[in-house]
Structures are given as C-alpha cells and as structure tokens.
Amino acid sequence: MTAKPVGGAANAAPLTPAEREQLRAKLEALSVRAESALSRKQGELKNEDADLFRDLGPTGDWAIAEAEFERDMASAAQSRGVVAQLKSAERRMQSGEYGWCEDCGAAIGFARLSASPAASRCVACQGARERPAGGSVSR
Ligand SMILES: [Zn+2]
C-alpha cells in the first residue's frame, strides 16, 4: 500500500538554513526600505497637503484636492501595513516560526517566500482567507 501524507498540500519543502538566511537578509532590506519610504511619505504628506489646500483659494477644486489627499493617505496606510507585516515576519524569524503556515502548519516553501518574504500562510490558506466562502464580501 502507498502511504500518502495526511492533509495533502505537503508539496513545499521546509527552508534550508541557507534559504532561511537569504530570506532573512531580504526581509531586513525590505523593512529598511519600507520604513524609509513611509517616513518620507509622511513628511511629504504634511508639506504637500499644506500647499494643496493653501493654493486652492476660494474657487479651487476641492474635490480634486480631497481625492489626492485620500489617495496619499491610502498609500501611506498601505506602507504602514507593509512595515507591520515585515516586522511580524522578522519576529517569526527570531522565534523560529518563520516559513511555516500560521493556519495549517505546513511549510510555506522557498519559492513563495522569496516572492513575498512576509508571507505567513501557505498558498492554500492565504487563498482561503482572501476568498471567504460565501457571506458578506466587503470589496
Ligand atoms: Zn496553510
């Protein structure tokens, strides 16, 4: 009889020490870059918005100014999210949980991690989270 691994999806191999080290360096570099992008963005945001709203004058197009402001805020929020994800990946790296799926415990695999080093779930679990079966979909 052929013994099949229970649970299926056991196709990704655990990280080797070399792969792990490579991803650790990548995470570190990304995290430095994301943080500097974020602080730059926040600085820009202050100056730009002050200009934006001052230059408008009484007949200025507030709709456009507001749309731009919101877009900037959204991208700043997104950067903050990225920084948070990278930080949590670094923490998992230190605690030894890095590379293992948070949900099912399977190895996430080097290919996936090297494409998205902050990934904390395997492809199957991430997919399940992003596409909740039925129910309310908020955009
Ligand atoms: Zn999983």
- Ligand 1 centroid from CA 41, angstroms: 34
61-70 residue pLDDT tens: 777 777 887 8
Sign of CA dihedral 51, 57, 63, 66: positive
Residues near ligand 1 ion, CB 5 Å cutoff: 101, 103-104, 122, 125
- What pLDDT does residue 4 have? 45
Predicted confidence band of residue 123 (pLDDT cuts 50, 70, 90)? very high
pLDDT computed for residue 131 by the predictor: 81
Pull the structure tokens for residue 17.
Answer: 């020490």
What is the pLDDT, as a whole number, of residue 57? 63
- Are the C-beta atoms of residues 70 and 28 closer than 8 Å to each other? no
pLDDT in tens, 39-91: 887 777 777 777 766 666 666 677 777 788 788 888 888 888 889 999 999 99
The model's pTM is 0.68
Q: Taking 70 as the threshold, does the pLDDT of residue 23 lie above it?
A: yes
Distance 61 CA to ligand 1 centre (A): 48
